[in-house]
Amino acid sequence: MVNLVTVDGQTFLVDVGFGSNGPVHPILLESGSIISNIAPRRARLDFKKLAQHTNPSQRAWVYSSQENPDAEWKEMYSFVEIEFFPEDFMVMNLSTMSRPQSYFVKTVLAMRTLLNTETGETEGVMILHGDYIKRKIGDQSEILERLESEEQRVQALAKYFQIFLKAEEQKAIRGLATELKSTPGP
């Protein structure tokens, strides 16, 4: 899901859910727009025909990402300028939220953008992915912590993401495939 936001007659792509390859700030909805993302990565928007289109006059917006200035551009997703309503999102998200094969049903994820304290610019991301915490700044990644239990994951959410779960919320994962179960030591 992307949001299109119009400010002073100009429309911007605002994407808050794509993850670490997504844009970290709004992008002007103008074909050929290129922005700096988390250095050295860049992002681009193009309005173009997709290979899958059967009608030659159809066009869609394509968001692409480039790992560094020498890398190939990779198309990440496309979208069209059609307004959707809450009922539409309920139907579109049903499979993503409930199918056992869905990546988002099988994996606990969290991401936080990291800002450079001196410049205020985006410099990296903090990621919780299942049972580990990773920090990525530029093209350098580092596993900060391996998580062995739900208690550790709850503590990591608070420590790295400022997400504080109530006792009732902490219990909600019990019995699910994503639950981290402590393995007793020797």
pLDDT of residue 159: 98
CB atoms within 10 A of CB 64: 18
pLDDT of residue 186: 40
Full 3-state SS string of the chain:
CCEEEEECCEEEEECCCCCCCCCCCCEECCCCEEEECCCCCEEEEEEECCCCCCCCCCCEEEEEEECCCCCCCEEEEEECCCCCCHHHHHHHHHHHHHCCCCHHHHCCEEEEEEECCCCCCEEEEEEEECCEEEEEECCEEEEEEECCCHHHHHHHHHHHHCCCCCHHHHHCCCCCCCCCCCCCCC
83-88: long-range pairs with CB below 8 Å, 24+: 84/1
Q: How far apart are CA 24 and CA 121, in angstroms?
A: 10
What pLDDT does residue 177 have? 83
Q: What is the pTM of this model?
A: 0.70
> How much is the pLDDT for 129?
96
Domains of the chain: 3-79 (2.40.128.150), 96-173 (no CATH)
| pLDDT block averages, 10 residues each, the chain of length 186 | 92 85 89 87 94 93 93 95 89 84 88 90 92 92 95 96 96 89 56
